[in-house]
Amino acid sequence: MKTFKSKIATVAFALAGAFIASASHAQDTTPSVVIVHGAFADGSDWAKVVPLLQAQGVAVTVVQNPLTSLADDVAATRRALNNQQGKVVLVGHSWGGTVITEAGSDPKVSALVYVAAFAPEAGQTSGEQGKGAPTPPGISQIKADGNGFLYLTPEGMAKDFAQDLPAAQTAVMTATQGPIKASAFEDKTTVSAWKTKPSWYLLATEDRMIHPDVQRSAAKRIGATLAEVHTSHVPQQSKPAEVASVILKAVHSVGEQ
């Protein structure tokens, strides 16, 4: 009898071990997400989206860009990529789209997600992205300081950057914004990661910083899977569930490969 019970216990432990190993393998094969924020912001700009991804078992890292040059922001992104264990879905908002276009050539990156973002060709600058399109009204609210950095005025933050958010929130966003070195917008990319990686694009239809026509053109040019959301330039703040949904589609697509 003891021998029979011993055998049952052995089988039970073996099955439990196999289940744990299987679950661990599933976690290991789920791509992580690395998010690159844009200009006039910092990593906290994604505070509403991160917990939604984590609730689905996705490991998330938000890069803190120095916003001093394309090379510096790409270097910061690559440091975050170096810390990932497996496949990565790389997300970029606004200026962050230029950063992921360059940094996305990393072999760990399996997919790109652009959120109201620039998506330049190799050899292009961010500043060239809007040529031929109407000038967005928010551009007039970008001011330079005496250090060569650009910042967004309180009016620009409230009426153009995040016009669908409460005034109390845009006031905090103004105070915590990350000014960007003016010369960064003239830095050229050397590669276009979207040429070799599947891409998703979330277009903000009420964007007053990057014209929606520019976004639509970019999404078509890079062959991205396009989704649209009725928001300002910061859908990650006003419609975080919709943003998380697009990112998760990319995660699931990569995880099935």
Q: What is the pLDDT of residue 19?
A: 35
Quick check: is 98 in a domain? yes
The CATH number given to whatever domain includes residue 96 is 3.40.50.1820
pLDDT at 204 over 70: yes
How far CA 158 is from CA of 49, 64, 100, 139, 234, in Å, comes to: 21, 23, 27, 13, 12
Higher-pLDDT residue of 117, 129? 117
Nearest by Cα to 189 from 28, 74, 17, 52: 74
Helices (H), the chain: 2-29, 50-54, 70-82, 95-103, 154-156, 167-176, 212-221, 235-238, 240-255
User: What's the CA gap between 116 and 50, in Å, rounded?
Assistant: 18
* Tokens (6 digits) for 38: 């844009």
Q: Can you give the pLDDT at residue 93?
A: 98
Report the percent of the chain where pLDDT is more than 90. Answer: 85
Domain assignment present for 54: yes
Does residue 84 form part of some domain? yes
Q: Is 14 a member of any domain?
A: no
pLDDT of residue 132: 84
Q: Is 65 helix (H, G, I), strand (E, B) or coil?
A: coil
Q: What is the mean pLDDT of residues 19-32?
A: 54
Whether pLDDT at 17 is above 90: no
Give the per-residue pLDDT at 127. 87
Report the SS3 class of residue 150. strand
Instruction: Please tell me the distance from the alpha carbon of residue 131 to that of residue 124, in angstroms, as a whole number.
Output: 12
pLDDT value at 248 more than 60:
yes
Residue labelled with tokens 């001093």: 68
- Can you give the pLDDT at residue 92? 98
**Sheet of 142-144: strands edge to edge?**
142-144, 149-152, 180-181
Nearest-angstrom CA–CA distance, 145 and 154: 15
Q: Could you tell me if residue 1 is inside a domain?
A: no
- On whether residue 67 sits in a domain, the answer given is yes
Is it the case that residue 197 has pLDDT exceeding 60? yes
What percentage of residues in the chain have a pLDDT greater than 70? 89
Please state the rounded mean pLDDT for residues 176-197.
97
**Model confidence at 2: pLDDT above 70:** no
133: amino acid identity, one letter:
A
The span from the first CA to the last CA of the chain, in angstroms, equals 48
Q: What is the pLDDT of residues 217-229, one digit of tens each?
A: 999 999 999 999 9
3-state secondary structure 178-239: CCEEHHHHHCECCCCHHHCCCEEEEEECCCCCCCHHHHHHHHHHCCCEEEEECCCCCHHHHC
Whether the pLDDT of residue 199 is over 60: the answer is yes
In a domain, 236, yes or no: yes
- Strand (E) or helix (H) holding 110: strand 109-115
Indicate the average pLDDT of the chain. 91
Give the Cα-Cα-Cα angle 130, 127, 117 (nearest 5 degrees): 65
Domain that holds residue 64: 31-121+130-255
pLDDT tens digits, one per residue of 43-85:
999 999 999 999 999 999 999 999 999 999 999 999 999 999 9
What span, in angstroms and rounded, lies between the C-alpha atoms of 114 and 35? 10
Which whole number is the average pLDDT over 177-184?
97
pLDDT classification of 20: cutoffs 50, 70, 90: very low
Domains in the chain, number:
1
Q: Residues 220-249: what's their mean pLDDT?
A: 98
Task: Place 21 in a pLDDT band, splitting at 50, 70 and 90.
Answer: very low
Residue type, 52: L
**Does 6 fall in a domain?**
no
- Cβ atoms 93, 116 nearer than 8 A: yes
CA dist., res. 128 & res. 211, Å (int): 13
